Structure 1
Amino acid sequence: MEDGKSHTRTHTSQDVGRDVETGKTPHRASASQSEYNIPDSYANVPELEEIAPIPSRDERQLRPTPSLEEDRALEHEYSGNEEARRRASRALGEQPETEKPKPGGVSRLATEIYTISYLILFALLGTLARLGLQALTFYAGAPISFSSVWPNFAGSLVLGFLAEDRMLFRFEWGTPTYELQLLRAKEHNRLDEEAGRSGSERTVVDLAAAKKAHMTTKKTIPLYIGLATGFCGSFTSFSSFIRDIFLALSNDMLVPDADGTSIPRNGGYSFMALLAVVITTISLSLSGFFVGAQLALALEPFTPSLPYAFTRRILDRVAVFLAWGAWIGAILLSILPPDRFSNQGAAETWRGRATFALVFAPLGCLGRFYASLYLNGYFPSFPLGTFAVNIFGTAVLGMAWDLAHASVGGVISCQVLQGIEDGFCGCLTTVSTWVAELSALRIRHAYRYGGISVLTALACMVAIMGGLRWSDGLSPLSCKH
């Protein structure tokens, strides 16, 4: 208005809390006015990136969102600027503003305790959900003859819902900021219509910036971190996906209740089976991610909002005791199961199926979380942390599979190995995060990242499982369930 060229009034940076120096909405608590003291490194966790499955809520527009590479570059620049400010403050003998405790806020230690507790709790729940869904969908005569596909689809769907949802954490830190921006936009439109304004004279409220600010704020909430990283990451399993590719390639993918034999087939059919597993899993997981985002929009009028006071003052504290208590309970059930001393001779199949998996599940989930913190920021176009845990978890699963099928040890050792496969490897590796990264990367980088991930993991599985399969053969499990 001062230069006489435009009469448009825009509500942007001040309303949504953008960092005017970097142009990015900060992740840390002090910058976004959150009560949790979130470390800067949490921004490297893939589920906490600015990944928007649906760029614009207006179906008539296709506004592009920043790619994952651009978002991480901005985050790296912001973190570098913050670290420089902290060093300068310490050199002057001052305490940096970002490290000063906030009145009534949550300390850095308490924030990390809440986050770790939620990760443990939802790792247990995600593992149970994966095992339960596999039991429901993997049966004789199933239309899809491998067990990993439906948990990968369902976990990706839940992550897509959480990424796009704006209702569960609507109150953010006690105030529905995004909803207020929507109401402000409607009010300005009404006033503009009453005043007869049109074109450049109309007041503009930057709803895209408001959406981004809301997404950034909710991703500093430990409960959201537990749901997205803990539950969805543990619900899906990249190592099981690669295992099914190898079993399709080696013609060892047997349906439940099979007699342990398979019909011989040539290499061409085995290659087609390999392609079927790859294409089915990736396409269903990607579609699940976008379907979940569309469901978040469709169900928005019916989605409840979590009360701020309940989440902050009650649920956080309860989650600490519930998570650690459930984990300790799983350990005790594995050591002293009620049917261990049964005289009926019944097989202890339930323990190998569930409790040992629950013992190892939190270790895998926490390993994936911290690997993302320290590794994902190195190469913006190639999420190194997710790649590392997926490859390492696949290798561990291959070794556990070999030991379990090598006729060594008894029932207990077989159950422990299955617990490592379902619990540790299942929670360490993830498909939901992987497909979210594929959807956010630039197309060329997405194909490169996805292709290298699958080929490297499959090469590890062929080297590990193939050595036993094509030399001594795979023996039946002593703890078959």
Structure 2
Amino acid sequence: MGKSASQTQTHESQLSNEKLVGLLGHPDFQLLDFGRKRSISMSSAMSLHIDDDTESENVSEAGDIGDRALHSARHSSSTCLSLDHAMEGGPAVILSADLHKISVVPPVREGVIFPIPIDPPKGPEDEKQEKQGLPMSLEYISCLVHLAVFGILGVFTRYLLEKLFGASVSGVTSNQTIVYPNLPSNMVGSFLMGWWGVVFKRDISQVSDILAVGLTTGYLGSVTTFSGWNQKMLDLSVNGHWVQAIVGFLVGLFLAAYSIIFGIETAKGFRWILKKLNISMNKEEPNTYCNWRFNNFRRHLAAMVVLLLVLGVLLGVSGSLLKKEFGSGSSGAQLWLACLVAPLGVWIRWFLARLNGRGLGSSGILRWFPFGTLIANVSAAGIMAGLSTAEKSVNSMRFDTIAMGIQLGFLGCLSTVSTFIAEFNAMRESNHPWRAYVYASTTMGVSFILGILIYDIPLWAKGLT
């Protein structure tokens, strides 16, 4: 007698799982985690053709996705395989973000569509790691602490770079030229974003997802500042230097864009050297990072406690020095106040970043546009313009200290160039490069026009220019 339909289906399911086990042992197999369920079309050259909606979402999320990254990390915490190598003819396994389905992709002819859903095997070690991870509440606290500490360090770095390249030391930057004081920090932050936020971000995440957030969103986002850049262009425009202001935006965008490109290329070169030296990043050693990963409760808790102590020291020292120097109106007093208010700016930007890649409305239109980063940059630029107007009107040393401290710390950390330029670069390299220039023009245009309304026009009306 012939086999029943249920027996045939069971037999095919067993064969599929046997094929999966065989593929996991294949020397050329790779795992592709695309963060969500999606169908992949394979060409004969094994290149991936992702639909337009998927690409739009990816470019919008290139810089930051806020606290959504924590939820994604929870679903992929036990996966420690390298995702950096393009497929070279071997089979692949595609996992959805929730790890409920696996798709096996062998070498195929052009035109075949995947995935093929198969339930993944789950070992006792994976279940143990999941139980040992931080609870969601502690994970959020740990992330906020990381962001605060790295944000304060970012403010310190930006302040030091501004002094180093300013008139008091090297004299490279000036408030009266297109080479504005924050240009060096924006270039340095964009360069490092190419290293830590593009090429090596996955490697850092395999050690600690929260550390990756701290370095990119916390440190690099705070080293760079869009609001300071916009305000210096407003200072040029209020005095009638409109051409210089426009050129300043173009030069700033050009230098930041090429800084991240230079960072990406040098990081790729460094990775290639490490591979040639057989240093633990070779694809034949995919589990290396699992040995160093903060994948249990004790390690996460220890890291959080250490950074809490560091944060306490930073805030305590800053508060003590601010109390001592506040009356002097010195730049030091502004720095210490900036350190106290910097964490709030980083936290707000991090929460706003969850809007990136979501689009507008229930249908998610304009999903390619990073609305979270746009809101952070435009709002910070507008508030900074308002504080600058108030500074001109009040003309008080104490008020100047407070305003400059808020501008340097809170607004400098609320706005970012490193994330903005990472998104710009991803769009420029996508199938729709025009989106990069629409995004950049919208961010700079809206911020500049808002600044003219808040800063230029009131100063012209009062004759304070």
The corresponding residue for 1:308 is: 292
Q: Which residue number corresponds to residue 335 of structure 2?
A: 354
1:149 aligns with 2:183: yes
Report matched runs for 1:215-364 at 5 Å.
Answer: 217-218=205-206, 221-251=209-239, 270-300=241-271, 301=273, 308=292, 312=300, 314-334=302-322, 336-337=323-324, 339=325, 347-364=328-345
| Pairs within 5 Å for 1:435-454 | 435-441=421-427, 442-454=432-444
Change (3 A) 1:35 1:104: farther
Give how far 1:365 is off. 0.7
Give the partner amino acid of 2:166.
F
Measured in 2, the distance between the counterparts of 1:125 and 1:356 equals: 14
Partner residue, 1:256: none
Instruction: Report if aligned partners of 1:157, 1:288 keep a CA contact under 8 Å in 2.
Output: yes
Tell me if the contact between 1:352 and 1:418 (Cα under 8 Å) persists in the aligned partners. no
Deviation (angstroms), 1:100: 11
Q: Which residue of 1 aligns with 2:352?
A: 371
2:33–2:97 CA contact under 8 A, matched in 1: no
Q: Structure 2 residue aligned with 1:160, among 180, 191, 194?
A: 194
Taking the aligned partners of 2:259 and 2:317, their CA distance within structure 1 comes to 33
1:223: how far off? 0.7
CA distance in 1 between counterparts of 2:35 and 2:206 reads: 17
The 5 A counterparts of 1:12-91 are 12=29, 15-16=31-32, 21-22=37-38, 28-34=72-78
**What amino acid maps onto 1:392 in structure 2?**
S
Correspondences of 1:168-247 after superposition (within 5 Å):
170=203, 217-218=205-206, 221-247=209-235
Counterpart for residue 378 of structure 2: 391
Shift of 1:30: 4.3
Q: Secondary structure at the match of 1:102?
A: helix
Partner of 1:344: none
Distance 1:142 1:353 in 2: 22
- Supply the distance in 2 between the matched residues of 1:122 and 1:355 (Cα, whole angstroms): 15
- Deviation, structure 1 residue 227: 0.4
SS in 1 for 2:181: coil
Change (3 A) 1:327 1:164: same
Q: Which 10-residue stretch deviates more, 321-330 or 107-116?
A: 321-330
Shift of residue 34, structure 1, vs aligned partner:
4.1
Q: CA deviation at 1:21?
A: 4.3
Superposed displacement of residue 22, structure 1 = 2.6
Is 2:154–2:223's contact at 8 Å kept on the other side of the alignment?
yes
* Deviates further, 321-330 or 17-26: 17-26
Structure 2 CA distance for partners of 1:218 and 1:241, relative to 1, 3 Å: farther
Cα distance change, pair 390–30 in 1 and its aligned pair in 2 (3 A): closer
Contact 1:248 1:277 (8 Å CA) reproduced: no
What is the deviation of 1:135? Answer: 0.9
Matched, 1:416 2:402: yes
Aligned-residue identity in percent: 20
Shift of 1:402: 1.0
Distance 1:20 1:318, change over 3 A: closer
State the 1:221 CA deviation. Answer: 0.8
* Aligned partners of 2:355 and 2:370 also within 8 Å: no
Q: Distance in 1 between matches of 2:220 and 2:86?
A: 24
CA 1:353 to 1:299, structure 2 compared with 1: closer, same or farther past 3 Å? Answer: farther
Equivalence for 2:106: none
Is contact 1:120–1:324 with CA below 8 Å preserved after alignment? no
Q: Which moved more, 1:320-329 or 1:221-230?
A: 320-329
RMSD: 4.0
Query: CA, structure 1 residues 21+373, in 2 after alignment: closer, same or farther (shift >3 Å)?
Result: closer
Confirm or deny that 1:469 pairs with 2:459.
yes
In structure 2, stretches of 5+ residues that fail to align are: 1-14, 16-22, 41-57, 59-68, 89-94, 102-125, 281-288, 360-365
- Give the alignment's TM-score, normalised by structure 2: 0.65
Q: What runs of 5+ residues in structure 1 fail to find an aligned partner?
A: 3-7, 37-51, 62-74, 83-97, 173-216, 252-266, 342-346, 476-481
TM-score by length of structure 1 reads 0.63
Partner of 1:135: 163
Q: Which residue of 1 aligns with 2:368?
A: 381
Residue in 2 that maps onto 1:86: none
2:445 is matched with which residue? 455
- Helix, strand or coil for the counterpart of 2:367? coil
8 A contact 2:72–2:97 mirrored in 1: no
User: How many aligned residue pairs are there?
Assistant: 349
Asked if 2 retains the 8 angstrom alpha-carbon contact of 1:164 and 1:297, the reply is no
Q: Which one scores higher on RCO, CA 8 angstroms, separation ≥ 6?
A: 1
Map Cα deviations across residues 424-446 of structure 1 (whole Å, 9 max, x no partner). Answer: 11110111111111111231221
Q: Is the contact between residue 371 and residue 389 of structure 1 (CA under 8 Å) also seen in structure 2?
A: yes
Distance 1:119 1:359 in 2: 13
**Residue in structure 1 matched with residue 47 of structure 2 by the alignment:** none
Q: Deviation of residue 159 (structure 1)?
A: 0.9
> Residues 56, 291 of structure 1: CA spacing in aligned structure 2 closer, same or farther, 3 A cutoff?
farther
Contact 2:326 2:401 in 1 (8 A): no
